[in-house]
């Protein structure tokens, strides 16, 4: 494969990696003179027509993803039945290798990596691309400290071939339960896999092991892993809850977007309460079919068994019987110690006055307990009551009500000019949530910094409302087109249409016709900011010089004149010039005086008289 060239452009240099679907090579883009990575898919995929159509569609979609945490895809295609993808070459290592070297990653560092991974996933999901094969092997940590997710769309492209050969799609250790069942996957499938990646980072272990992929897949469907804190007690309990929610068996119990999971991680990193709670499904473990020899796995959070005290059983039974008898009597008479028992009516959603009337009707009192914000209950109406509706109370008892102060409004802070992580943290601290992160070119705001928010800074919003971040991709850039040899007018139009301003200079040229472009500065193929100036160097044609007249000049003087004018001089004797006055003087020259010659080829021969 070394030295092979794809599309007459990408020259393979050396193999740098290999996987189940492709080999990866370092290559040189000979057009732009830059190093790239070329992922060459194994040849047997080309035999599957469904794969080929999927590959084209998915590669094109993945190439459209432009995000700082997603590996850039530059090009894709096929040659002689071999399909390939050209992407940016990253200097670094996979997250899998990093975990194997460190054993476990400290929670703070792991959350920072996960946050960037989830930012990439959220961006892809917003563009209707599901990764389907999230695992540490597909996450690259660069030497500059960046996190890059790779292989978007490739897993989907390979779905048909892998299914036909009986292979479970994706790497078994990171499969979601729905993938293991062969069901359709969506956003939450990537979130499940992201939860496993986070689990592995902080524990140093994958959650499920097995003798083969099928055995591992079944565990994803039926079992729960060892709680992370049982393996690494330094893991915060809230982080364990985040992992547990992401890894819920039921997709509806997981985070419903990568942004939700990322925001909870951001909250935890800022020391704020997270929104995640333990999914109800994990209160009772889903069991495998009966197997007396199988080890029973317990859920992340397992309730301690209640202690039984057999000696109190008869006493409890007697007390229950007495209470039931008494309850029946009370229900019949409605009186205890001479007081009538009444049922507390439901006054939630009523005004204080309406609540007071309803309670007075059954001879109960009302007292305001306090007021609090509510995004669902109108100001002045009852949010909650104590005792609850339906409770039995003595006549004359007091019901405490909490009234609504209306919606809690928050002001969108100005986060322009800050990084995405800092902006996210500030919005969360202000009681707002973070929605989508969108990317735009900007001539004024640096790459990776927030340009603005939507809604804009200063706007009042209901607490918990999502605010989108608009993040700068830096100035828009474009590639300078190749205009060599074109007329100045044609070249200028081409450069302006690409988005550049144009200035001109001129030079003599023996190879480029007068009026045509010799070169540009910066050079063609360079990527520079749109709106930048490009200088075109226009040919003035070859530089011509006039031949001096040195006839009759002494030899040395003639040579000095000609060399000063830029000529290379060849002198020859001219025997037979018998006149004494011509001795050692120029009697003729070639070219003749006054002729125009190219300066680059200014050669002249002078003939010297000899007596």
pTM of the complete model:
0.57
Percentage, residues of the chain above pLDDT 90: 46
| CATH topology assigned to domain 325-404 | Trypsin Inhibitor V; Chain A (3.30.10)
- Reduced 3-state DSSP string for 307-322: CCCHHHHHHHHHHHHH
- The CATH code belonging to domain 544-610 is 3.30.10.20
* Lowest-confidence segment of 80-94, 116-130, 158-172, 335-349 by average pLDDT: 158-172
Architecture of the domain whose range is 5-88: 2-Layer Sandwich (3.30)
- Out of 3.30.2350.10, 3.40.470.10, 3.30.10.20, 1.20.1540.10, which CATH number does the structure's domain 477-539 have? 3.30.10.20
CA proximity to 371, closest of 417, 334, 403, 410: 403
pLDDT of residue 295: 36
* Lowest-confidence segment of 66-75, 290-299, 353-362, 413-422 by average pLDDT: 290-299
Inter-residue contact 242 to 268 (CB < 8 Å): yes
Q: In which residue ranges of the chain is CATH 3.30.10.20 found?
A: 325-404, 409-472, 477-539, 544-610
pLDDT band at 289 (very low <50, low <70, confident <90, very high): very low
pLDDT digits (tens, 9 = 90+) for 388-411: 898 899 999 999 999 998 888 899
Q: Which of 133, 151, 190, 433 is catalytic?
A: 133
- The CATH code belonging to domain 92-283 is 1.10.510.10
DSSP strand pairing (501-507 vs 533-539): parallel
Regarding predicted confidence, which is higher, 595 or 64?
595
* Lowest-confidence segment of 29-38, 223-232, 477-486, 573-582 by average pLDDT: 573-582
Q: What is the mean pLDDT of the chain?
A: 83
Catalytic residue check, 151: no
The answer to whether residue 542 scores a pLDDT higher than 90 is yes
Per-residue pLDDT, averaged over 407-416, amounts to 91
The answer to whether residue 326 scores a pLDDT higher than 60 is no
pLDDT digits (tens, 9 = 90+) for 453-498: 999 999 999 888 889 999 998 888 889 999 999 999 999 999 999 9
pLDDT of residue 589: 93
E strand or H helix at 333:
helix 313-333
The secondary structure of 92-107 as a DSSP string is EEEHHHHHHHHSS--H
pLDDT of residue 329: 35
| CATH topology assigned to domain 409-472 | Trypsin Inhibitor V; Chain A (3.30.10)
pLDDT of residue 307: 41
The answer to whether residue 161 scores a pLDDT higher than 50 is no
Per-residue pLDDT, averaged over 280-302, amounts to 41
pLDDT band at 574 (very low <50, low <70, confident <90, very high): confident
- Burial of residue 593 (number of CB atoms within 10 Å: 0-12, 13-18, 19+): exposed
């Amino acid at each position: 494969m070394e030295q092979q060239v794809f599309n007459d452009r990408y020259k393979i240099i050396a193999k740098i990696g290999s996987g189940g679907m492709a080999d990866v090579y370092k290559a040189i883009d000979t057009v732009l003179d830059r190093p790239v990575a070329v992922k060459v898919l194994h040849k047997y995929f080309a035999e599957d027509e469904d794969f080929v159509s999927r590959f084209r569609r998915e590669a094109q979609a993945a190439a459209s993803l432009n995000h700082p945490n997603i590996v850039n895809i530059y090009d894709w295609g096929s040659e002689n039945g071999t399909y390939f993808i050209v992407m940016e070459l990253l200097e670094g290592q996979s997250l899998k290798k990093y975990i194997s070297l460190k054993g476990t990653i400290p929670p703070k560092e792991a959350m920072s990596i996960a946050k960037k991974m989830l930012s990439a996933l959220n961006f892809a999901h917003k563009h209707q691309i599901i990764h389907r094969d999230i695992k540490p092997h597909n996450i690259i940590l660069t030497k500059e400290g960046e996190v890059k997710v790779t292989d978007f769309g490739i897993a989907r492209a390979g779905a048909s071939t892998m299914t036909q050969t009986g292979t479970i799609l994706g790497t078994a250790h990171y499969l979601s339960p729905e993938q293991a069942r062969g069901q359709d996957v969506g956003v939450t499938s990537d979130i499940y896999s992201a939860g496993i990646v986070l689990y592995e980072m902080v524990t140093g272990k994958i959650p499920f092991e097995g003798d083969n992929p099928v055995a591992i897949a079944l565990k994803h469907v039926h079992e729960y892993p060892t709680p992370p804190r049982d393996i690494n007690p330094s893991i915060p309990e809230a982080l364990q809850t985040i992992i547990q929610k992401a890894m819920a068996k039921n997709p509806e119990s997981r985070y419903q977007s990568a942004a939700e999971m990322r925001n909870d991680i951001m909250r935890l990193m800022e020391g704020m309460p997270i929104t995640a709670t333990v999914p109800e499904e994990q209160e009772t473990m889903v069991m495998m079919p009966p197997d007396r020899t199988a080890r029973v796995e317990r859920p992340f959070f397992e309730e301690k068994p209640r202690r039984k005290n057999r000696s109190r059983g008869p006493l409890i039974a007697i007390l229950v019987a007495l209470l039931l008898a008494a309850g029946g009597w009370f229900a019949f008479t409605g009186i205890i110690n001479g007081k009538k028992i009444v049922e507390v009516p439901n006054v939630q959603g009523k005004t204080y006055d309406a609540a007071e009337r309803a309670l007075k009707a059954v001879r109960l009192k009302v007292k305001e307990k306090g007021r609090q914000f509510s995004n669902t209950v109108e100001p002045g109406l009852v949010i909650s009551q104590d005792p609850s509706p339906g409770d039995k109370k003595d006549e004359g008892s007091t019901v405490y009500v909490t009234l609504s102060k209306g919606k809690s409004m928050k002001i969108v802070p100005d986060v322009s000019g800050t990084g995405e992580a800092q902006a996210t943290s500030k919005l969360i601290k202000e009681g707002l949530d973070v929605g989508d992160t969108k990317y735009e070119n900007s001539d004024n705001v640096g790459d990776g910094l927030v340009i603005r928010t939507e809604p804009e800074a200063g706007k009042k919003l209901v607490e918990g409302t999502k605010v989108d971040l608009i993040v700068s991709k830096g100035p828009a850039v474009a590639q300078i087109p190749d205009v060599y040899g074109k007329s100045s007018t044609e070249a200028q139009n081409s450069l302006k249409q690409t988005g550049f301003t144009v200035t001109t200079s001129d030079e003599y040229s023996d190879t480029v016709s007068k009026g045509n472009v010799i070169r540009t500065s910066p050079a063609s193929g360079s990527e520079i900011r749109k709106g930048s100036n490009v200088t075109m160097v226009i040919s003035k044609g070859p530089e011509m010089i006039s031949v001096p007249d040195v006839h009759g000049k002494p030899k040395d003087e003639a040579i000095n004149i000609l060399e000063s004018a830029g000529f290379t001089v060849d002198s020859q004797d001219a025997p037979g010039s018998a006149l004494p006055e011509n001795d050692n003087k120029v009697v003729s020259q070639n070219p003749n005086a006054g002729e125009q010659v190219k300066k680059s080829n200014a050669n002249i021969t002078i003939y010297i008289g000899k007596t």
